[in-house]
Structure 1
Amino acid sequence: MSELSVESTARDMVAAVRERRISARELLDLHLERIGQRNGELNAIVSLDEERARAGAAAADQHLASGAATGPLHGLPFAVKDTHATAGWRTTYGSTIYADNVPDSDELIVERLRRAGVVLIGKTNVPEFAAGSHTYNSVFGTTLNPVDPTRSAGGSSGGAASALASGMVPLAEGSDMGGSLRNPASFCGVVGLRPSLGRVPEWPRDNQWESTATGGPMARNVGDVALLLSVIAGPDPRAPMALGDAGSTFAPPVTGSLHGLRVAWSRDLGGAFAVDREVAAVVEEAGRLMSRSGARVFGDHPDMGGAEEAFRTLRAWLFQAKLGPLLAREPDAFKASLADNIRAGESLTGSDVARAYAQRSTLTERMRVFFQRYDVLVLPVSQVPPFPADQEFPTEINGVASTSYLDWMRSAYLVTMTGCPAISVPAGTTPNGLPVGVQIVAPHGADRRLLEVAAAFEQARAFAR
């Protein structure tokens, strides 16, 4: 057996399987051993099926032995986010309504993962209908942070981030409307990319013209994020808003430099949100590190006027359209915060929604002009460090009370409204060792360039340590 461990990079694992230095069955055994050690406490992977996983790993080894072509993720153990329909596999959406749901077909993202050669092992835990950035539900319970199991793993891709950070899986995918890839990545000390809108198409979906949520990759390093993006990105005729670039654009190894980079750095986008002092200190050091590494760092930020109203309007409208009929039939099956958010969409008018889209259009143009002066924007991912897991959401920041369960997510969801790609990269820790990520944002469509900048920052941090 190879000297691989569950902490090895996904690229190294794929190469080792392809070169037969380790079999898919042996690689699975390594991860099942780690799952046995950590998952009972962390509750990151749900609907685990070891028997089917072993059959999948054996089939992967037989496929390789036959001399047939293999996919870019051949033999890698993989758990799919429990909001993505997976044929023959229990998919609950974190809701008791779907506790026994077993789809008969795959979503597009799962189709692509299977075609790439992954060995499915289970699903990753989510909040109820992926609402809120803390992963708990009435079907499986709460997912905990592997760095400090008394703390939240974030959400909605909290199971994915916790499983990654603890070595239970080498890669993970998720989705992001208001920070569901970026927030758990920051909380668990891994990398999470919200790609440009259209980069990772979705099918089927209730509204193919919806433009707030997107799927995306997570990994323990930027290079592995790019590897997974190469699999799940690219056009599909069933997704009319998909960007035309092939996913293979992201397959080559990712390298970059911070030298000469034009960086706009902001603690709070001009007072648009409060930031915990410990988080602010890490983000400030990230700016200094970039400057020491040759970047030209300027204190600046785009005008985000209208982004707050647009996000809350569109979120409520989309939730009501998708979940309103279900809430009417099953009023007692929803957590209170989600039910309130769905009902908030009932009173919206056509004029409200039209104004939200006009605000987004204005913001998009502002961002285009802003990025004529800068290559990237750097700001916090989350406004708080990982909070106690027995809380639904942070109730205050620096002593100032929050008025809703969304308030502490502004640093992520305001960026959502721009449509730009944004990545969460580990940047440091609080004094008591809790992970904190930094959010790097690039112009729409510049996902490869964003990955190069993130890789350069990752390397600079490693060198500094």
Structure 2
Amino acid sequence: MSACEFVRAFADGLSPRAVIEATLSHIAATNPRLNAIVTLDEAGALAAADASARRWRDRRPASALDGVPITVKDNILVAGLRATWGSRLYRDFVPDEDELPVRRLREAGAIILGKTNVPELTLHGYTDNALFGTTGNPWDPALTPGGSSGGAVAAVASGMCTLALATDGGGSIRRPAAHTGLVGFKPSRDTVARGKGFPAILGEFEVIGPIARCAEDVLAAMDVIAAPAWSRLMAEPLTPRPRVAYVSTFGRAPVDPFIRDVIEGTIARARALGLDVETLSPFTLADPLDAVWPVVSQTGVAWLLERHPGWQGQVGSAIAEMEAAGRRLTARDYLDALDQVAALCRSFDALFAQYDFLITPSAAAMPWPATESHPAVIDGQSVGPRGHAVFTAIANALGLPAISLPCIIPDGALPVGLQVIAGSGHDGWLMKFAREYEGRLFTHRWPNVLPGV
């Protein structure tokens, strides 16, 4: 059941306690295969469910999420629950207060089940770390669900929770959602206030957003975690005939042929429904970002580890390499990167003056083996660590709202996601578009996660 279906059932007498008991039973059967939830708070979840049940009996629910089971990504702080950020640096850290979106969810009556797995410092496109190990994709546990929100999407797609609170610093919500057949939403910069949390090594590029199985649930989550700004964003009416630009790839970046075919089929259906979609090719506006991204992430790692004397031996080799590269960069390099981002903003402002939405694939590659950091080859071409991630980081750099929506695919195929990006502050347009075309262009299917079923 979706979050909104649960709430309607609670209003009709379904007990949140029964839902959480069933959910915990399902987690016990499913999580050992996937390794999605790394810290489980059974006692806290049951106590919160009892409190929710009392509110529903009194016909006084706290919100449209009261009683709904959710998980929180392990780089977001939840009071009393270990927050490791996937690193041995924080293996024993237990915060004493909630990060602001968590507090808002708790006050709204949502049931916090626990924390979901991440790669170390949430800086990789797969989900594995030295503390908890590898997370598998519910569609095939031998494959990755992506990263860095791999544990979050694995939990939602497998039915271990209904909603997941996650972060997106370069596509960390959208690409994993694409790999698991979910809806993953990255809000505009500053839409979801965070409060106190881990050091912001990606600066303003990283935001908090929800992962769900349908647009209705994303809307319900945003209404809680982005209040009061969200009601103002949703008040903006969507034009009856939005102008859409479609880009099959950035520059010459390779895309898996199956993804390319699925997206092309979705675009054809969109045009058949009357959407005004213009193909832009070649598309090189985002090319300068390739030089920006390493500067931001590597300097962020070097800055963080400088605050941890004796960090050597406590982080993985990939993080150590990023620290060494970041230490060699200068303030001039960082300011030059920010200057390139400002130029990109001007270019994309001009693009969104012509179009309401930009459509791309969410990811350039299908899921790869779960223990490998990235696919080395896409469509016969060698690629680097972010070859699979070429489409998503532009929305982070420019602070734009973006969503990954699960495409209609043949039976037996792994999921494919389509990314839609809107201009700055047009989160409401984006969600109205997703809601309007859900079911006609986008769908959800359940993977079989229990052996023998």
The TM-score with structure 1 as length reference comes to 0.89
Cα separation, 1, equivalents of 2:182 and 2:68:
18
Task: Identify the residue that residue 167 of structure 2 maps to in structure 1.
Answer: 175
Which structure has more relative contact order (CA 8 Å, sep 6+)? It is 2
Q: Which residue, 71, 79, 84 being the options, matches 1:87? A: 79
Q: Quick check: 1:162–1:188 contact (8 Å CA) kept in 2?
A: yes
Change (3 A) 1:251 1:169: farther
1:361-372 correspondence runs (5 A): 361-372=342-353
C-alpha offsets along residues 270-306 of structure 1, whole Å, 9 cap, x if unaligned?
A: 32x2211111111211211211111111112461242
Q: How many pairs align?
A: 442
Q: Quick check: 1:324–1:342 contact (8 Å CA) kept in 2?
A: no
**What is the identity, as a one-letter code, of the residue corresponding to 2:304?**
K
Change (3 A) 1:189 1:250: farther
Unaligned runs of 5+ in 1: 1-7, 235-244
1:43 and 2:35 are equivalent in the alignment: yes
Cα separation, 1, equivalents of 2:44 and 2:200:
33
Deviation at residue 68 of structure 1 after TM alignment: 4.9
Cα separation, 2, equivalents of 1:381 and 1:464:
16
Q: Quick check: 2:48–2:109 contact (8 Å CA) kept in 1?
A: no
1:391 and 2:383 are equivalent in the alignment: no
Q: Quick check: 2:256–2:366 contact (8 Å CA) kept in 1?
A: yes
Cα separation, 2, equivalents of 1:270 and 1:458:
29
Task: Identify the residue that residue 126 of structure 1 maps to in structure 2.
Answer: 118
Deviation at residue 249 of structure 1 after TM alignment: 4.6
* SS of alignment partner, residue 371 of structure 1: helix
Q: Quick check: 1:302–1:370 contact (8 Å CA) kept in 2?
A: no
1:158 and 2:150 are equivalent in the alignment: yes
Task: Identify the residue that residue 219 of structure 2 maps to in structure 1.
Answer: 226
C-alpha offsets along residues 349-399 of structure 1, whole Å, 9 cap, x if unaligned?
A: 121111111111111111111111111000011110111113222111122
* SS of alignment partner, residue 9 of structure 2: helix
* SS of alignment partner, residue 114 of structure 2: strand
Cα separation, 2, equivalents of 1:226 and 1:262:
23
Which one is further off, 359-368 or 437-446? 359-368
Q: Which residue, 255, 266, 272 being the options, matches 2:247? A: 266
Q: Quick check: 1:94–1:128 contact (8 Å CA) kept in 2?
A: yes
Change (3 A) 1:291 1:302: farther
Q: Which residue, 268, 279, 304 being the options, matches 1:322? A: 304
Unaligned runs of 5+ in 2: 446-453
1:449 and 2:429 are equivalent in the alignment: yes
1:163-312 correspondence runs (5 A): 163-205=155-197, 206=199, 210-234=203-227, 246-249=229-232, 260-271=241-252, 273-300=253-280, 301=283, 303-312=285-294
* SS of alignment partner, residue 430 of structure 2: helix
* SS of alignment partner, residue 209 of structure 2: strand
1:399-414 correspondence runs (5 A): 399-403=380-384, 405-414=385-394
1:16 and 2:22 are equivalent in the alignment: no
**What is the identity, as a one-letter code, of the residue corresponding to 1:74?**
D
1:353 and 2:337 are equivalent in the alignment: no
Instruction: Give identity over the alignment, percent.
Output: 34
Change (3 A) 1:270 1:305: closer
Deviation at residue 442 of structure 1 after TM alignment: 0.4
C-alpha offsets along residues 298-324 of structure 1, whole Å, 9 cap, x if unaligned?
A: 112461242221222112222222234
Q: Quick check: 2:182–2:444 contact (8 Å CA) kept in 1?
A: no
Cα separation, 1, equivalents of 2:260 and 2:295:
28
C-alpha offsets along residues 79-106 of structure 1, whole Å, 9 cap, x if unaligned?
A: 2111111111122211123222211111
Change (3 A) 1:217 1:462: closer
Which one is further off, 21-30 or 295-304? 295-304
Deviation at residue 177 of structure 1 after TM alignment: 0.8
The TM-score with structure 2 as length reference comes to 0.91
Change (3 A) 1:248 1:377: same
1:71 and 2:53 are equivalent in the alignment: no
Which one is further off, 213-222 or 61-70? 61-70
Q: Quick check: 1:263–1:296 contact (8 Å CA) kept in 2?
A: yes
Cα separation, 1, equivalents of 2:17 and 2:247:
47
Deviation at residue 52 of structure 1 after TM alignment: 2.5
Deviation at residue 191 of structure 1 after TM alignment: 0.5
* SS of alignment partner, residue 205 of structure 2: coil
1:113-152 correspondence runs (5 A): 113-152=105-144
Change (3 A) 1:299 1:37: same
1:60 and 2:52 are equivalent in the alignment: yes
CA RMSD of aligned residues (A): 2.5
**What is the identity, as a one-letter code, of the residue corresponding to 1:282?**
V
* SS of alignment partner, residue 354 of structure 2: coil
Q: Quick check: 2:146–2:367 contact (8 Å CA) kept in 1?
A: yes
Change (3 A) 1:217 1:290: same
Deviation at residue 209 of structure 1 after TM alignment: 10
Cα separation, 1, equivalents of 2:412 and 2:256:
14
Task: Identify the residue that residue 357 of structure 2 maps to in structure 1.
Answer: 376
Q: Quick check: 2:251–2:287 contact (8 Å CA) kept in 1?
A: no
1:98 and 2:98 are equivalent in the alignment: no
Task: Identify the residue that residue 422 of structure 1 maps to in structure 2.
Answer: 402
Cα separation, 1, equivalents of 2:323 and 2:185:
27
Change (3 A) 1:211 1:61: same
Task: Identify the residue that residue 241 of structure 1 maps to in structure 2.
Answer: none
Change (3 A) 1:100 1:463: closer
Deviation at residue 246 of structure 1 after TM alignment: 2.1
Deviation at residue 179 of structure 1 after TM alignment: 0.9
Q: Quick check: 2:20–2:46 contact (8 Å CA) kept in 1?
A: yes
Task: Identify the residue that residue 440 of structure 1 maps to in structure 2.
Answer: 420
Task: Identify the residue that residue 238 of structure 1 maps to in structure 2.
Answer: none
C-alpha offsets along residues 399-441 of structure 1, whole Å, 9 cap, x if unaligned?
A: 22223x2232122123322221110000144785111100000
Q: Quick check: 1:261–1:294 contact (8 Å CA) kept in 2?
A: no
Cα separation, 1, equivalents of 2:158 and 2:246:
31
